[in-house]
C-alpha cells in the first residue's frame, strides 16, 4: 500500500502542495484530477523522489520513502511515466524496454526480465510487432505505450 500523509511540497519558497493525504491499496487504481497548477505532477514527483525538500510522510508498504534516491524508489516498484513520451528514439523498441529493467539486470534477474518482456508483448502486441524497429519511428500513441511498458519493466 502507498500512503501519503500531510504532504507539503515547495519550489523554493513557494508552496505547491499543502497537506495532501491519500492511500492506494494493492490492485487499486486512482485518478488525480485537477486544473493546471493544482499539484498533480508535483505530488507524483515527490513520491518518485524527484522533488527534494518535501515534508510529511510517504510510505510504501510500511517503509518510508523519505531520503531514498529515485533509483531506490524504482527498485521498490514505483515508476513515473512523464508527459511527453520520453523514450530513446534511436534505440529499438526492445532495447528501450530492457533499459526499463536496467536496475534489475544488476541483481541478476535476467530470467524474470525475459518473462516480463513476454508479459509486455501480451499487453502491447503492437510493440512486439515492432520490437526491432527504432522507437523514434513509432506513432505518438505507440511511443506512449512504449513509455508505459518501459516503466512496467522496472517492476
User: What is the per-residue pLDDT for 35?
Assistant: 93
Lookup result for grid cell 517503509? 63
**What is the pLDDT of the chain when averaged over all its residues?**
92
User: What is the per-residue pLDDT for 99?
Assistant: 92
pLDDT band at 53 (very low <50, low <70, confident <90, very high): confident
139 burial type by CB count under 10 A (0-12 exposed, 13-18 middle, 19+ buried): exposed
Q: Which fold has domain 2-75?
A: Rossmann fold (3.40.50)
pLDDT tens for 123-152 read 999 999 999 999 999 999 999 999 999 999
For the chain, the structural domain boundaries read: 2-75, 93-154
| Angstrom distance (rounded) from CA 128 to CA 145 | 11
pLDDT tens for 67-107 read 999 999 998 989 988 777 789 999 999 999 999 998 787 77
Amino acid at each position: 500500500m502507498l500512503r501519503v500523509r500531510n504532504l507539503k511540497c515547495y519550489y523554493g519558497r513557494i508552496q505547491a502542495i499543502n497537506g495532501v493525504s491519500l492511500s492506494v491499496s494493492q490492485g487499486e487504481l486512482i485518478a488525480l484530477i485537477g486544473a493546471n497548477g493544482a499539484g498533480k505532477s508535483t505530488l507524483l514527483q515527490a513520491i518518485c523522489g524527484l522533488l527534494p525538500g518535501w515534508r510529511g510522510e510517504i510510505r510504501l508498504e510500511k517503509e518510508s520513502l523519505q531520503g531514498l534516491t529515485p533509483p531506490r524508489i524504482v527498485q521498490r516498484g514505483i515508476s513515473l511515466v512523464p508527459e511527453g513520451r520520453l523514450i530513446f528514439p534511436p534505440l529499438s523498441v526492445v532495447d528501450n524496454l530492457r533499459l526499463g529493467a536496467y536496475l534489475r539486470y544488476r541483481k541478476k534477474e535476467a530470467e524474470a526480465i525475459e518473462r516480463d518482456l513476454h508479459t509486455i508483448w501480451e499487453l502491447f502486441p503492437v510493440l512486439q510487432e515492432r520490437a526491432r524497429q527504432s522507437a523514434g519511428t513509432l506513432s505518438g500513441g505507440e511511443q506512449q505505450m512504449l513509455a508505459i511498458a518501459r516503466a512496467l519493466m522496472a517492476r
